[in-house]
Amino acid sequence: MALYSEKVMDHFRHPRNVGSIENADGIGEVGNAKCGDIMKMYLKIDDDIVTDVKFETFGCGSAIASSSMATELIKGKPLNEILQLTNKAVTEALDGLPAYKLHCSVLAEEAIQAAVKDYYERKKKPAADAQASAETSK
Ligand code: FES
């Protein structure tokens, strides 16, 4: 059996939603101290729904595949649903990862949670420039 599933290879070779979002509503950046890999997630949120998501991952193939799959799993979903997203769900959607690569999928879970946390923190600060557009009509 191949070390990596076809889905992992597909998302590694053709990652979905790569890039950044200008004026993102939430940004989460996490890293793994052991391997040094870094993952950054950008969320565009409208009415508590993730309307767009992009990622930048400076890391291994499994981290890239995990980020790509995670973005596909959360796009169009409500925040309360994506807060439940676990690395296990990402791994399952990829048809598995080798045990020693599971930590790569944890980065995806953590980056998304961090981006949602950032979104909620920004909402508490109405003066934040990026958030001003949400209330321009006032
Ligand atoms: Fe670091 Fe995969 S080896 S995230």
Residue 131, pLDDT score: 43
Enter the tokens of residue 67.
């980020």
Catalytic residue among 39, 64, 65, 104: 104
Domains of the chain (ranges; CATH) run 6-123 (3.90.1010.10)
pLDDT mean across residues, the chain: 91
Whether pLDDT at 130 is above 50 = no
- Residue 56 neighbours by CB under 8 Å, 6+ apart: 18, 19, 20, 39, 40
pTM higher than 0.95, yes or no? no
Residue 124, pLDDT score: 86
3-state secondary structure at position 28: strand
Calculate Rg over the CA atoms of the chain: 15
Residue 1, pLDDT score: 61
Catalytic: 60?
no
Catalytic: 35?
yes
Instruction: Give tens-digit pLDDT for 37-95.
Output: 999 999 999 999 999 999 999 999 999 999 999 999 999 999 999 999 999 999 999 99
Provide the terminal-to-terminal Cα distance of the chain, rounded to the nearest Å: 60
3-state secondary structure at position 123: helix
**Ligand 1: distance of its center to the CA of 105 in Å?**
8
